[in-house]
A and B are shown apart, each in its own frame.
Chain A
Amino acid sequence: MANATEQKPAPRFVRADGPDKVTGSGRYVADMSLTGMLHAKFRYAGVAHATIDKIDTSAAETIPGVVSVLTAADVPDVIYSPVVPDRRLFAQDVVRFEGEIIAAVAATTPEIAQQAVDAIVFEYTERPVVDDLEAAMAPDAPLVHEDWESYAVTGDTPRDRNVATFSSIAKGDADAGMAEADMVVKGRYVADGCHAAPIEPRGVLAQWEGTKVTIWTSTQVPFDARNGVCETLGLASNHVRIIVPHLGGGFGGKCGFHFEAHIAALARDARRPVKLVFSREEEFIAPDRRRESMIVDLETGLRSDGTIVARRGWVAVENGAYTADAAFFPQLAAMHVAGPYKMDNVKIDASLVYTNRQPSGSVRAPTAPQACWACESHTDELARALDMDPVEFRKKNAIDTGDTGAVGQVYDEIGMQECIEAATSAIDYGKDLPENEAIGVAIGWWPSFPGPSGAFVRLDADGLGQIVTGAQECGTGAVMTLRQLAADELGMDPEDFQIIYQDTGVGPYDTGATGSQTLLNNGRAVVDAAQQIAEQLRVHAAEQLEAAAGDIVLVDGAAHVAGSPDRSIPIPALAEVAAEGEQLLGKGSGTPPAYPDIPGMNCVGDQGVAAWAAPQFSCHAVHVRLDPDTGVTRVLNVSCAHDSGTIINPIAAHGQVEGGVMMGIGQALTEGTQYSDDGRQLNAALLEYKLQTFADLPTITTAFIQTPTTEAGPRGAKGLAEAPNVPTAAAIANGIAKLVGQPVRKLPMTAERVWEASQ
């Protein structure tokens, strides 16, 4: 059994970047200016699929104030992207989605740059628009990439025509298991794409000095951005420095390498600094990080005792026009379609399908909210078929400590069952409710992502500390929490430390604000570095206090001899001594937690996301009210329970859950990308793409099930930032289904769709 810990009152931990942010003095990319700076604008294709007949920039180039105009001809011909390289900086020969860049302009004002962009002549011949996932998989479907076979794909990556990658997860014999079932339940679930929609539209500012370029950019992954610039422009890694000033949110939308190379190329050509700031519409249309649309077919065999005997699944995940980082999405979607359940026989096939739409990419827990919504809607249907309470069904079938999951991984020390208990009891599941109100419940899971990460810690002569890390803060507070870890190792106050971060020229490598990995990986690195300084301090203190180094403890800003509290020396005094000789410098990277083995796993197209390190578990129970005459749903109360291991910074942790829940409510009810028949986004604005407002805020309560986890981050912390986004939409769906009498099989479950389902 996991050890469910009572929620302690949150300490008031004020983030180091907080004063900048509440006073307006914090700088984001759009707030920066450099002398001589030009302004960039992109010319987008504006058509979803076409052969390029002509791009003529001559008229644009003659407009006074225009300094540089670039197209594919002006940059190295490099095809990039991880796993399935299929992308160029500028369109060449064919455009495959409306937001594809065909040219970039730098001019003295944004208005002149826009005028120049509009003056570029773009002639094209339209091609058929591929926008239906099933039709795209037909053998005679028009191809999004006619030269798909030529791409230099890496790893175990089965592909075929419009199927960019294929994966399966398999265990036992699903067909035989299904034949043994007492009943079989089938369902189809279709989710629209949606957007990360950070409130900051991105900006990029590039400046060259000699052969080196510095790029200030709103990216979540500075090292990825650097590597992308190096790869596409042919530059050495130490000639490109990426600096992120404050980042105004990302949610995955600002992961990956995006527009840094375009702006660097313009700045090089113009011999002037160049700045790009997106409009809200561009932030919707241009990035290759949109949450993927998905079709899920599920078929589950049940025994009459309420156990699952077999599951077959078929999943189509929208890739969009280019693969970005989505190669692993099919396998991850398959894991979520299987869910955190015990089942002996499983076969789920999942494909990543090209379309002529904006590329998909890692948005907060990629594939999970939609796939969990499908799986958990289906789970409630299973319970209904058995005439069993859906929470009881979950308690019976969800994995517990020591159980084996869908791909054969054995889960030790997990809090899945405790999450179900905590979330449902906190909302008083089963209580009498008014007509038109119901409580829906869903469970979810999400991996942690161990990886390499480094940090430096130093104490200067006055005893004040500096943490220098390549890690990226996107708002979660994960980097801010590093101060707490360093301070605890050194017996100091977090306020004694400042952090230099998100600068590839200064901090050691870190993956970035992606995969909920910052505290898990960079936290270990900082602890490792701080421990080295602690050891140095102990040696100095041992000399000063005439004691053994092993007897020195660091507490309350001083080194003490254990057991003799009066024999102590303040850390600043030790730092002053150290400054004269070997300085107090720590460098750490820690040892990443190990990925578990899965004996006998027979997944095809393994992209490394079947075996989960430090898996996180969650249960959300949501009290909804339905207006049956209109289909409008309101969320009144959300009760969350999360096993993300040890919680180090409670305020930040609660903030992650609450933010994830509100995003989940949006995905459930109001957020979906709408397209015209010719493949263009119809609602690329915040009036028509509806985020939840402050007025929609329900009451959100959170219990953390702090399961002791050995193969995890510092002090047993797992990831957290993505997990809260996984089960909310699913729980809302199950509440609505109780009131409508059947599931709404389309996501988002808009008022109109709920009303249609209830007709």
Chain B
Amino acid sequence: MSDPTFTIATSVDDALAALANGARPIAGGSDLFVGARQGKAPLPESIIAIDRLAELATIEATSAGTRIGAMVNHATLMTDPTVVADFTAIADAAALVGSPATRNVGTIGGNVMNGSPAMDTGAPLVVLGATAHLQSQNGSRNVTLDELWIGPSRTSAAPDELCIGLDIPARPERSGSAYVRLEYRRAMEIAVVGAAAHVALDDSGNLAEVSVALTAVAPTILAVDGLDSLVGQSVDDSTLASVAERASEVATPISDLRASDAYRRHTVGVMARRAVDAAARRAQGEQIAVPVNRALGIGASA
């Protein structure tokens, strides 16, 4: 096996030039490394390390909302005041990823560009309407995540495009979001199923907006359609039951050693219901600590 070349990028331009020459970017490198050792994919021939690009590790207000830099790690996502207050589902998800070490090394850009259907931050980004800002030497563009993720661990990004950050639109009034995941143990888990929800309420406390996305029940993160009929409804048991039913209906899970398809189909409905419930409660101003999993329900502390 030939050993790759390795360069540390000192600027975004530096990185883009390397990508144009065929290098692959790495941030924390865990996915790349573990994947190579497990024989999923060999290490690329040329590696450009982008983890020292401080300009990609910021969370900044933009004219359209907020940009989360691609090199922001999970440890930051779960504690950053802006993310926790406005994009709480991302914080919920980041706090559930692996362990403190993997949260320290793993970045949101690495996650998004890895494109795994089991990534925890994916469903929150979808329900929050995030787009990925990609840049190459030929220019830049924003793509929706639906366009970006085209299959398990496959993206539509060109090899020379670097993810600069995730752009998330400003939040409406009286809105909240949440991410909930099925966990067999309280840490070091990979999503068996998960669900993120975004909810905005109208003046009377009924649903003005609701969106749900599901983790690990389809080849990519799955946005749940067909929830429009819930707009105008109150967030009650009947509404939540409809959410659960619809989530289970649209899911196309597989059976594997982690769970059967039937169990995944059932539990993803449970997760969707809980995510919408928690998002609505946050929209009403209730303080539910991050992550929801440990504040309520599954995995809650004694």
Contact = CB atoms under 8 A, between A and B. Distances in A.
Touch A–B, Cβ below 8 Å: yes
Contacts of A595: none
Given A630-B267, A752-B260, A699 B302 contact: yes
B184 A688 contact: no
Contacts of B298: 627, 630, 632
B266 A695 contact: no
Contacts of B267: 629-630, 755
Contacts of B141: none
A755 B183 CA distance: 14
A630 B187 contact: no
Contacts of A693: 185-188
Contacts of A690: 184-185, 188
Interface string A605-649: 000000000000000000001010110101011000000000000
A629 B270 contact: yes
Contacts of A629: 267, 270
A237 interface: no
A373 B275 CA distance: 36
A632 B187 contact: no
B263 A632 contact: no
Contact of B190 (A630, A634, A687): A687
Given A627-B297, A630-B267, A755-B266, A682 B257 contact: yes
B184 A634 contact: no
Given A627-B297, A755-B263, A688 B302 contact: no
Contacts of B257: 674, 682-683, 688
B54 interface: no
Contacts of B182: 630, 632, 751
Interface string B266-290: 1100100000000000000000000
Nearest to A637: B302
A696 B186 CA distance: 6
A688 B300 CA distance: 22
A751 B263 CA distance: 9
B299 interface: yes
Given A682-B257, A752-B263, A695 B186 contact: yes
B259 interface: yes
B183 A632 contact: yes
B258 interface: yes
Contacts of A683: 257
Contacts of B259: 752
Interface in A679-715: 682-683, 687-688, 690, 692-696, 698-699
A694 B184 contact: no
Given A688-B257, A752-B260, A755-B263, A669 B302 contact: no
A60 to B, nearest CB: 18
A750 B184 contact: yes
Contact of B185 (A627, A670, A682, A752): A670
Nearest to A681: B257
B267 to A, nearest CB: 5
Nearest to A628: B270
Nearest to B299: A634
Given A627-B297, A632-B298, A698-B302, A687 B188 contact: yes
Chain A CB within 10 Å, residue with most, of B185, B186, B260, B300: B185
Contact of A670 (B184, B266, B299, B302): B184
Interface string B141-168: 0000000000000000000000000000
B154 to A, nearest CB: 22
Nearest to A694: B187
Contact of A695 (B187, B258, B263, B297): B187
Contacts of A637: 302
Contacts of A632: 182-184, 298-299
Contacts of B186: 634, 693, 695-696
A751 B267 CA distance: 10
A688 B258 contact: yes
A636 B302 contact: yes
A238 B89 CA distance: 66
B262 to A, nearest CB: 9
Contacts of B300: 634
A554 B297 CA distance: 61
Contacts of A634: 186, 299-300, 302
A163 B298 CA distance: 44
A674 B259 CA distance: 12
Nearest to B266: A755
A598 B298 CA distance: 50
Contacts of A694: 187
A131 to B, nearest CB: 16
Interface in B180-228: 182-188, 190
Contacts of A756: 263
Interface in B92-119: none
A629 B297 CA distance: 10
A699 B301 CA distance: 11
A281 to B, nearest CB: 9
A688 B259 CA distance: 11
A632 B298 CA distance: 7
Nearest to A629: B270
Contacts of A636: 302
A99 B267 CA distance: 36
Interface in A733-758: 750-752, 755-756
Contacts of A699: 302
A484 B4 CA distance: 56
B190 A696 contact: no
Nearest to A675: B257
Nearest to B297: A627
A625 B267 CA distance: 18
Chain B CB within 10 Å, residue with most, of A625, A634, A670, A683: A634
A670 B184 CA distance: 7
B185 A692 contact: yes
Interface in B56-111: none
A412 to B, nearest CB: 40
B296 to A, nearest CB: 11
Nearest to B34: A687
A498 B225 CA distance: 70
A542 B70 CA distance: 81
Nearest to B270: A629
Contacts of A625: 302
A636 B301 CA distance: 8
B276 to A, nearest CB: 14
A694 B100 CA distance: 12
Contacts of A674: 257
Contact of B187 (A670, A696, A751): A696
A185 to B, nearest CB: 30
Contacts of A755: 263, 266-267
Nearest to B256: A682
A682 B256 CA distance: 10
A751 B300 CA distance: 16
A538 to B, nearest CB: 56
Interface in B216-273: 257-260, 263, 266-267, 270
Nearest to A627: B298
Interface in A83-102: none
A696 B302 CA distance: 10
A683 B184 CA distance: 15
A557 B270 CA distance: 68
Interface in A392-417: none
A179 B298 CA distance: 47
Q: Report, nearest first, the 3 A-B pairs whose CB atoms are least far apart.
A: A695-B186, A695-B187, A636-B302
Interface of B: 182-188, 190, 257-260, 263, 266-267, 270, 297-300, 302
Interface of A: 625, 627, 629-630, 632, 634, 636-637, 669-670, 674, 682-683, 687-688, 690, 692-696, 698-699, 750-752, 755-756
Given A634-B300, A693-B188, 9 more contacts: A634-B186, A688-B257, A690-B185, A693-B186, A695-B186, A695-B188, A699-B302, A751-B263, A755-B267
7 contacts: A630-B298, A634-B299, A637-B302, A696-B185, A699-B302, A752-B259, A755-B267
